[in-house]
Amino acid sequence: MKRWLWLPAVLTVVMLLLILNSSPAAEPALAVVPHRMIALTFDDGPDPAYTLPILQILRERGLHATFFLIGRNALAYPDIVRQIAREGHLIANHTLTHPQLQDLSEQQVRAELEGFTAVMTSILGPDARLSPYFRPPRGKESTAITQAVDLLKLQTVLWNVCVENHATSAPQDVFARVTQLVEARNGGILLAHDGELDRTLTVRSLPLLLDGLLAKGYRVVPLDEYLDASQAAADY
- CA gap 191, 223 in Å, rounded: 12
Expressed as residue numbers, the domain containing 224 is 33-235
Point out the residues that are catalytic.
43, 193
- CA gap 163, 191 in Å, rounded: 6
Number of folded domains that form the chain: 1
Instruction: Kindly tell me if the per-residue pLDDT of 186 is higher than 50.
Output: yes
* More confidently predicted of 236 and 28: 236
With cut-offs at 50, 70 and 90, classify the pLDDT of residue 18.
Answer: very low
Query: pLDDT tens digits, residue range 164-185?
Result: 998 889 999 999 999 999 999 9
Residue 46, domain member (yes or no): yes
Residue 162, domain member (yes or no): yes
By CB atoms closer than 10 A (0-12, 13-18, 19+), residue 123 is buried
Residue 26, domain member (yes or no): no
Look up the CATH number of the domain holding residue 199: 3.20.20.370
CB count within 10 Å of CB 152 equals: 20
Which has the minimum average pLDDT: 29-33, 142-146, 211-215? 29-33
Instruction: Kindly tell me if the per-residue pLDDT of 13 is higher than 70.
Output: no
pTM above 0.75, yes or no: yes
With cut-offs at 50, 70 and 90, classify the pLDDT of residue 14.
Answer: very low
Query: pLDDT tens digits, residue range 62-93?
Result: 999 999 999 999 999 999 999 999 999 999 99
What pLDDT does residue 7 have?
A: 52
What pLDDT does residue 128 have?
A: 86
Residue 28, domain member (yes or no): no
Which has the minimum average pLDDT: 16-20, 107-111, 122-126? 16-20
Residue 23, domain member (yes or no): no
What pLDDT does residue 217 have?
A: 96
Residue 83, domain member (yes or no): yes
Residue 5, domain member (yes or no): no
Residue 21, domain member (yes or no): no
Instruction: Kindly tell me if the per-residue pLDDT of 50 is higher than 70.
Output: yes
3-state secondary structure of 142: coil
Instruction: Kindly tell me if the per-residue pLDDT of 28 is higher than 50.
Output: no
